[in-house]
Amino acid sequence: MSQNPFFEAWTTPFGMPPFDRIETGHYMPAFERAIASHRAEIEALRDNPHAPDFANTIEAFERAGADLLRVNLVFRNLAGTESDEALRQVERDISPVLARHRSAIFLDAKLLARIEAVMNGPQWSGLDAERKRLTGRLHKGFVRAGARLSDVERARLTEITAQLASLGTQFAQNVLKDESDYVLWLCHDDDLAGLPDDFRIAAGALAQTRGKPGQHAISLSRGTVESFLTHSTRPDLRETLLNAFLARGENGGESDNSATIAQTIALRDERAQLLGYASYAHYKLDDTMAETPEAVRGLLDRVWAPARTSAARERGRLAEIALLEGQNGAIRKADWRHYAEKLRRADYAIDDAQLRPYFPLSRMIEAAFFVANKLFGLTFEERRDLKLYAKDVRAFEVKDREGQHVALFLGDYFARPSKRSGAWMSAFRVQQKLEGNIRPIIVNVLNIAKPAGDEEALLSIDEARTLFHEFGHALHGMLSNVTFPSLAGTAVSTDFVELPSQLYEHWLLQPEVLRLFARHVETGEPVPEELIARLKAARGFNQGFATVEYCASAFVDLDMHLSADKALAEPLAFERDVLARIGMPEEISMRHRSPHFTHVFSGEGYASGYYSYLWSEVLDADAFSAFEETGDIFDAATAQRLHDFIYAAGNLRDPKEAYLAFRGKLPGPDALLEKRGLA
């Protein structure tokens, strides 16, 4: 094994991780050394004989653990994108160790006492807003972790946290195993019926990587599955693929997540009870914009009724089309997207296969960069000289209007067996000014089917929207301009973090953007103006379906954590009971079923918080109206406020205060309902 690169300063361009030198065997020694170093730093802080003040307590806490953060960011990112069994074993081994290490810190009553001494001391009134915000957030973190509890209770919380970390890791690895093991082979010409040429090419490329050149293979990547369900004219194959997709994590054997869900719910509920909360949902939502389960339920109920009504109308229209084609039975789950695409063609003359050539991946990346330039003055220069962690990853240096370095942005766009499904933003380094002007290294990860050879990947509207969504998150990380890393970038409440990403989606379908970047991959011709008009007219199309599949997952997430005693016995039966209670249409499936609901069960980021996308959508619908009201979707003054109070501000303010500073008022759900065509 080579010299461990985590034991040295990195002299790579932009301080990037030296990916070409990092080996799996380096991680555990690096973690062990970094944990020991962090523990020593915390103990020195805790036992400092001098009276607590901001510098020797709060700032010292922020400075501690830099080596551990560096190792963990690299490891977590590569465990999600370049996983193999050796890396998964490291993940299983280190997750409970890290959880116990963090618990030992945040359950330390002496550390909490020092923080409270700062808050009650003579220095407090003279601290600026950012330092007070950091201290307050740190204090809340200790209290919510259980630092005020008895020794026995704190010991139990430590064990709960470690067990939850192991369960979350196992849950995610089980889902990845089911996804990476499955292939739907298309061995005959009839199996390809209805599939667009670019999809066939990508399926052929995947078959070749799976050792069967000349055949075609379909994976369980969401984008691939949804495209197949849209285009395939083989109802039997559509149903086979959808059933496999919905059954991830529920196939029996070692990768089945049923027991993992039950154990996770039980442990989360026990922790909440120890901390004095009525349920885990009450505990989790106490530190969000929503604040209470009742507020979340109120929003979901407000949207659910019109969504179901709209979905019922949509179902009726789909049944009419199916009947014309000789299908006399009910619309099935595997039929919906297929007939919805035909209905969209009939109502709006929009065809996904016709649209895809106008949305090549390279141009959509350029479009996302263009909007960032118009709003925030950013420029993006591709760096082909950097050594990255996978051959398809692209790197861009980001600069501001004055040509100053802002960030390094990595785009990891294509699906591969080593990568978990979905799309996300992450960081290899977060922004801060505590140790100098440290600029971030941000990555977007997508799972677009990779075409063969030098063919251009062609995106569906949904895939292009996902690209813009994740780039909105990336901007939130790249534009961050705070002093302390704990407040930087996306370190905000779950139901606020989706605002920058969902808001950014709005610019994708604006005529000013489409005319420049939605150009035919072969002819270079811009998307026709009348097609732009049809796209805008179709913005509310099929939104009953989309809202129902999303809200169903949010209801199940909330109810499982509100009624843990009922969910424990048989989580999947509880899931069915919740769907029956809300009147889930039989022909629509949940967007994320519990056995593969990684948002909720592979970690705690979105546990009791999947509603956050809808909550943030209330904000983003109103926020884009701020631009529309000026008559200029790139209005400079509005963009400056958006930059200062949302994208660059991290967690400097309470989310409500941040939104008020940008917009001047808090919105209700009416703008969301109108945007989705549910008003």
Residues 423/467/193/535 CA torsion (nearest 10 deg): 140
| The pair of three-digit structure tokens given for residue 600, joined into one six-digit string | 């909720």
Residues 59/61/64/70 CA torsion (nearest 10 deg): -90
Q: Are 225 and 242 in contact (CB under 8 A)?
A: yes
What's the angle, vertex CA 318, arms to CA 315 and CA 320, rounded to 5?
115
The H or E element containing residue 301 is helix 293-324
Instruction: State whether residue 443 is helix, strand or coil.
Output: strand
Kindly tell me the sign of the dihedral angle through the C-alpha atoms of 534, 535, 537, 538.
positive
Residue 127 and residue 565: Cα distance in Å, rounded?
45
For the packed helices 109-120 and 129-145, what is the interaxial angle rounded to 10 degrees? 150
| The pair of three-digit structure tokens given for residue 612, joined into one six-digit string | 């956050």
Any bridge partners for residue 131, and if so which? none
Any bridge partners for residue 360, and if so which? 458
Residue 285 and residue 494: Cα distance in Å, rounded?
9
Q: Comparing C-alpha atoms, which of 329, 308, 333, 97 is closest to residue 226?
A: 333
Strand 379-382 with 394-399, pairing: antiparallel
Q: Comparing C-alpha atoms, which of 247, 228, 248, 246 is closest to residue 179?
A: 248
Q: Are 202 and 277 in contact (CB under 8 A)?
A: no
- What are the strands of the beta sheet with 379-382, ordered from one edge? 379-382, 394-399, 405-414, 441-448, 424-429
- What does the pLDDT read at residue 239? 97
For the packed helices 258-274 and 571-582, what is the interaxial angle rounded to 10 degrees? 80
CA atoms within 13 A of residue 618's CA, in its CB half-sphere:
21
pLDDT per position as a tens digit, 585-640? 999 999 999 999 999 999 999 999 999 999 999 999 999 999 999 999 999 999 99
Q: Comparing C-alpha atoms, which of 384, 331, 378 is closest to residue 647?
A: 378
User: Which residues are the active-site residues?
Assistant: 470
Q: Are 471 and 504 in contact (CB under 8 A)?
A: yes
Residue 374 and residue 134: Cα distance in Å, rounded?
32
- What does the pLDDT read at residue 671? 83
Q: Are 408 and 396 in contact (CB under 8 A)?
A: yes
Strand 405-414 with 441-448, pairing: parallel
- What does the pLDDT read at residue 679? 82
Residue 199 and residue 458: Cα distance in Å, rounded?
9
Q: Comparing C-alpha atoms, which of 635, 609, 619, 607 is closest to residue 667?
A: 619
Q: Are 395 and 388 in contact (CB under 8 A)?
A: yes
For the packed helices 258-274 and 151-181, what is the interaxial angle rounded to 10 degrees? 160
What's the angle, vertex CA 544, arms to CA 538 and CA 550, rounded to 5?
115
Residue 561 and residue 475: Cα distance in Å, rounded?
32
- What does the pLDDT read at residue 93? 97
pLDDT per position as a tens digit, 505-540? 999 999 999 999 999 999 999 999 999 999 889 989
Q: Are 171 and 257 in contact (CB under 8 A)?
A: yes
| The pair of three-digit structure tokens given for residue 421, joined into one six-digit string | 């499904």
Alpha helices (H) in 146-257, listed in sequence order: 151-181, 197-209, 222-231, 235-246
Residue that the structure tokens 């501690």 belong to: 64
Cα 18 to its chain centre, rounded Å, is 26
Alpha helices (H) in 518-611, listed in sequence order: 529-537, 543-562, 564-569, 571-582, 598-601
* CA 486 vs CA 70, 120, 143, 432, 500: distances in Å: 14, 22, 17, 9, 19
- Cβ neighbours of residue 425 closer than 8 Å, sequence gap 6 or more: 442, 443, 444, 445, 470, 473, 474, 476, 477, 490, 501
The H or E element containing residue 352 is helix 352-355
Domains and CATH numbers, the chain: 5-106+108-148 (1.20.1050.40), 182-247 (no CATH), 357-537 (1.10.1370.40)
Residue 51 and residue 342: Cα distance in Å, rounded?
71
DSSP conformational letter for 480: -
Q: Are 341 and 229 in contact (CB under 8 A)?
A: no
DSSP conformational letter for 291: -
Residue 182 and residue 169: Cα distance in Å, rounded?
20
- What does the pLDDT read at residue 358? 96
Report residues of the chain scoring pLDDT below 70: 1
Residue 558 and residue 188: Cα distance in Å, rounded?
44
Residue 248 and residue 242: Cα distance in Å, rounded?
10
Any bridge partners for residue 458, and if so which? 360
- What does the pLDDT read at residue 1? 58
As a three-state string, the secondary structure of 641-660 is: HHHHHHHCCCCCCCHHHHHH
pLDDT per position as a tens digit, 51-83? 999 999 999 999 999 999 999 999 999 999 999
Instruction: State whether residue 678 is helix, strand or coil.
Output: coil
For the entire predicted model, the pTM comes to 0.94
